[in-house]
Structure 1
Amino acid sequence: MRALMTIRWQLPLILLFLWITLPQSAQALTASQVYEQVKDSVLVVKAYDQKGKPVGLGSGVLLPSGHVITNYHVVKAGVRYMVAQGKQGVPATLKSGDPDKDLCLLTAPGLAAKPARLGQAAKLKVGDPVYAVGAPQGLELSLSEGIVSQLRGGHPPIIQTTVAISPGSSGGGLFNVEGELVGITTFYLKDSQSLNFALPVEWIGQVAKGNSGMPIGAAPVAPVPGTAPKEGWEKRAVALEKAKDWQGLSAFCRQWLRTEPDNDLASKWFMLASCFLRTQDEPKSAGAWFSLGDAYSELGRYGEAKRAYRKSLSFEALLPGLEALTWACLGDTYSKLESNKEAIEAYRQALRIDPRCDTAWLGLGNFYAKLSRHQEAVEAYREALGHNPLREHSVTAWSGLALSYAQLGNRSAALEAVKELRRYDPKKAEELFNLIIKQ
């Protein structure tokens, strides 16, 4: 009995000891906690030409190795580099780089910064929360939050997110909910909201094995043979697609983006190449074929998008909500193809699967508005706004709602929608206000 009592008395202490000493599962941090944990790891990177003129500006992240990782395009035109944290700036030298991956490593001795903890992009899933920290235009650090919207390419994947990435933030860090670095933020589509990318952190190891001291500022990037700068890029991309040379197309598009970093068309072609590579790696993945449909839609190739979405639906969707989203995107595609009967059935199928699918409600609103069925459009837009849509959905929904109310002769409701739109897109709101007032 005494032995039993002793065990019962000691049990809480044993459990406490085990709780302290055993590895604990990682805890999800809030956005502010992530920022506090990583802010001392994110830096400003500047590049200068031989005359000391600034020719590149971006962000960078200090790694456990002591090197600073940033985008290749940030420093490619420079011969001298500076890395800064707040007001403290130190000279930096190029260690290695990989122009195809748009990444390079700098060394900056004497930099008093805290290295970031490394995670794995390969462990991310669509829908995971992520946080981008960078220094837009070289100013103070800022944090943007969003989710992983697509995983493109092979393993590890290129990360597409809804996180807003501003000019000057390229080369900054993309962090998971544990404050681990999972990607390096890079190009974004300037005219398409929330279509932003990050390169997987796993690529850093490959960059570290690259060419030491590569002469980045020696000369402009040479074009692919047979392709003139700023001319003939798409023609070359089409030829590589017809040849089904997806690796070649991917490498070519990276070069195109290095030459023209803000070129939306180059970004869309890069997406297409990445998606084809993923379908090769995962031929029976619903997500891979959905991404390919998405890429074709961005290029306005709706017939091919339709076939890719249909292919996606032929496989079991492992990701929650993907089946409904695919039907919604298929509805958008049929609408673009003027296949009205098929479009409305696709939207309805999406909503049968997930009545809260805001993408389907938004598409249905746009579809009804196009057919001048304005009361039905109003109802669909209202449903879309009731299901916590993404920011770009809010802009589209409030805009559509304002125009539909105006067509119904309900001017006060139209102006109320414009007032709500002003929170998301003041310029668009002003345009609609002037349009409605003149009616």
Structure 2
Amino acid sequence: MIQHLLRALILLVMVSASQAFPGLLYAKSASEIFAQASQSIVVVYNYDNKGIKQQLGSGVVMPDGKVATNFHVVNRANKITVLFNGKEFEAKATHSDPKRDICLLDVEGLNAPGAVIGNASQLKVGEKVYAIGAPEGFEKTLSDGIVSGFRTVDGGNYIQTTTPISPGSSGGGLFDEEGRLVGLPTFYMVSGKSLNFAVPVEWVLEASKPQLSHAKKTRQCSEWLNKAAAYEKNKDWSGMIRHCTLWTKTQPKNCDAWYCLGIAYNRIQNAQNAISAFQNAVQIKPDNSKAWNDLGFAYVVAGMKLEAIEAYKKSILTNQNNAAAWQNIGILYLKKGDLDMATESFQQAVQIKPDYLSAWVNLGISLQANGSPKEAIQAFTKAISINGNNSVIWNNLGLAYRDNGNVDQSIDAFRHALQINPNYDTARNNLAETYRLTGRVDESINTYIQSTEINLNDSTAWQALGDAYTKNHQSDKALEAFKQALRCDPNNVKALVGLGRHYATKKNRVVAMDVYRRLKNIDSGVAKDYLKNYLL
């Protein structure tokens, strides 16, 4: 009854709202937006003087019939054509603004509906947006995301979105929830996820107007950003540092200049310079969540873990949907041993981004370390559904199954890890240990032997083989295995204990005491237990 009343109340509120605000617009579905807006999207081809296609991008038909695209799509073209509904039309550039990366085309014979024009200045962070273009040449492809921020430059703001932009998408249309054109997807940054940018539709509308004062400016943000993105794509970090350093000197109050400089320094592990650059970026724009997140990473590289946690917290405060920041702060909590906070952070990350592979893996590790193997199994299983060819995830799943008492599933998981990577020593040793724990000693011994044959210097495998031989009452073979383990790693504590136990059992107290002295220098706690159990 209460549920019926609640539904009735909700219905009344909805009806009242629609009556009170008859002009209120409601968001359209993705399919409705695509059906409306895709009719105004074209593919733009750029041909060289030999008639070879050298570039392709997207374009959007404006209300006046002109096609708007990015300048870089048609730059240095000998011939430009537009593809619409399977037919190719010749086009001619009429108005270009290289600084803002905009170009308008006249296309003779094109009979396509113009896009409905929206207002980019009214967009808010968190609003849904849709990109329609031709990524990789696939005509009229839809992708969606949200407005994640605005990047202020002279004369306006770039729209930053989480809507994926791929080669070929440039120059297409970015549409709001009503299917109105609000921008042109222009470029993306490879360094961070969801660093995609669009020029606002207002710039497109201004492209045909005289912009004398604008044209006099020596460099605009689009030019700087495009060049920085090119350096990053080519992994030319020294070139990117030179470029971005000049950018910061030319535009010292530009947040993106400092942010891109920080990215480049991060890539070469120059933590101090990266920290300085990111600090400048967040000082200019304190709500730049990505800059706070990357500042946190730079602090981690510099060994400043407390500062890193504070930076990640500020990243989350400025954007609670920053999955990367939740993931990164979770890793720090995990390393600190704060398993509850780590688990909560990873859960937030995967809730925001359900296909976040590394966050699911870290969530599983955190849950397992916190004594929740059943929940860890669920996390690792989800990770495997995202990427089933990762041997490390299968190994972790095997450990979780084993801790949960699911021995058969544990063995299957370790075997699957080894199918993917036959040289995965850790998975093979875990498989052997599972055999040993379940009393399948012969299988355990054979598996450890395989590990030592694949990697003669695997001290852990030799030590575990010695334990298995000991349990199987093969003391001479156990002795040789422990000795081989210590040849590989003289500080292998478990191998020393196994060796000392063997000599103590054989009443060779002199050698057993020598083992005690060696243990005391490595781990006094283990040495104390060894003395109590085997020598006193």
The alignment's TM-score, normalised by the length of structure 2, stands at 0.57
CA displacement, residues 45-71 of structure 1 (integer Å, 9 cap, x when unaligned):
111122221111111000011110111
Change (3 A) 1:28 1:378: same
Quote the residue 1:133 is aligned against: 132
Once residues 292 and 257 of structure 1 are traced to their aligned partners in structure 2, the CA distance between those partners, rounded to angstroms, is: 9
SS in 2 for 1:117: coil
Change (3 A) 1:122 1:399: same
Change (3 A) 1:41 1:279: farther
Quote the residue 2:26 is aligned against: 27
Once residues 133 and 356 of structure 1 are traced to their aligned partners in structure 2, the CA distance between those partners, rounded to angstroms, is: 24
Quote the residue 1:420 is aligned against: 382
Letter in 2 for 1:158: Y
How far is the alpha carbon of 1:433 from its aligned partner? 3.9
Letter in 1 for 2:34: Y
Matches within 5 A, 1:16-95: 24-95=23-94
Quote the residue 1:208 is aligned against: 208
Matches within 5 A, 1:310-389: 331-332=296-297, 334-345=299-310, 360-369=325-334, 371=335, 373=337, 375=339, 378-385=342-349, 388-389=351-352
Once residues 59 and 232 of structure 2 are traced to their aligned partners in structure 1, the CA distance between those partners, rounded to angstroms, is: 17
Change (3 A) 1:84 1:353: closer
Larger radius of gyration: 2
SS in 1 for 2:192: coil
CA RMSD of aligned residues (A): 4.3
Quote the residue 2:526 is aligned against: none
Once residues 359 and 322 of structure 2 are traced to their aligned partners in structure 1, the CA distance between those partners, rounded to angstroms, is: 14
Letter in 2 for 1:160: Q
Once residues 170 and 372 of structure 2 are traced to their aligned partners in structure 1, the CA distance between those partners, rounded to angstroms, is: 45
CA contact (8 A) 1:415 1:433 kept: no
SS in 1 for 2:352: coil
1:114 aligns with 2:78: no
Letter in 2 for 1:207: A
Once residues 50 and 353 of structure 1 are traced to their aligned partners in structure 2, the CA distance between those partners, rounded to angstroms, is: 50
Change (3 A) 1:433 1:329: closer
How far is the alpha carbon of 1:303 from its aligned partner? 2.7
Quote the residue 2:227 is aligned against: 256
How far is the alpha carbon of 1:373 from its aligned partner? 3.2
Quote the residue 2:157 is aligned against: 157
Change (3 A) 1:192 1:130: same
Name the one with the larger helix percent: 2
Letter in 2 for 1:137: E
1:175 aligns with 2:175: yes
How far is the alpha carbon of 1:44 from its aligned partner? 0.7
CA contact (8 A) 2:101 2:222 kept: no
> Which of 263, 284, 287 is equivalent to 1:298?
263
How far is the alpha carbon of 1:41 from its aligned partner? 0.5
Q: List alignment gaps of at least 5 residues for structure 2.
A: 1-18, 212-216, 267-273, 397-416, 418-423, 427-536
Quote the residue 1:400 is aligned against: 362
Q: List alignment gaps of at least 5 residues for structure 1.
A: 1-18, 212-245, 281-287, 314-321
SS in 2 for 1:202: helix
CA contact (8 A) 1:59 1:70 kept: yes
Q: Which has the higher contact order (CA 8 A, sep 6+)?
A: 1
How far is the alpha carbon of 1:107 from its aligned partner? 1.1
CA contact (8 A) 1:302 1:333 kept: yes
How far is the alpha carbon of 1:197 from its aligned partner? 0.9
Change (3 A) 1:182 1:358: same
Quote the residue 1:3 is aligned against: none
Quote the residue 1:225 is aligned against: none
CA contact (8 A) 1:381 1:397 kept: no
Quote the residue 1:215 is aligned against: none
> Which of 384, 390, 410 is equivalent to 2:353?
390
SS in 1 for 2:207: helix
CA displacement, residues 362-386 of structure 1 (integer Å, 9 cap, x when unaligned):
22212134x3638457514443246
CA displacement, residues 118-173 of structure 1 (integer Å, 9 cap, x when unaligned):
12222222222111111122223111111111200234211111011121111111
Matches within 5 A, 1:234-273: 248=219, 250=221, 253=224, 256=227, 262-263=233-234
How far is the alpha carbon of 1:248 from its aligned partner? 3.6
CA contact (8 A) 2:161 2:194 kept: yes
Moved more, 329-338 or 108-117: 329-338
Change (3 A) 1:310 1:396: farther
Once residues 420 and 270 of structure 1 are traced to their aligned partners in structure 2, the CA distance between those partners, rounded to angstroms, is: 42
SS in 1 for 2:328: helix
CA displacement, residues 309-350 of structure 1 (integer Å, 9 cap, x when unaligned):
36756xxxxxxxx59988767655543432223334555678
SS in 2 for 1:208: coil
Quote the residue 1:104 is aligned against: 103
Letter in 1 for 2:307: E
Percent identical: 31
Once residues 207 and 106 of structure 2 are traced to their aligned partners in structure 1, the CA distance between those partners, rounded to angstroms, is: 13
Moved more, 246-255 or 91-100: 246-255
How far is the alpha carbon of 1:109 from its aligned partner? 1.8
Letter in 2 for 1:390: K
How far is the alpha carbon of 1:254 from its aligned partner? 5.5
Once residues 318 and 149 of structure 2 are traced to their aligned partners in structure 1, the CA distance between those partners, rounded to angstroms, is: 21
Change (3 A) 1:149 1:351: closer
Letter in 1 for 2:282: Y
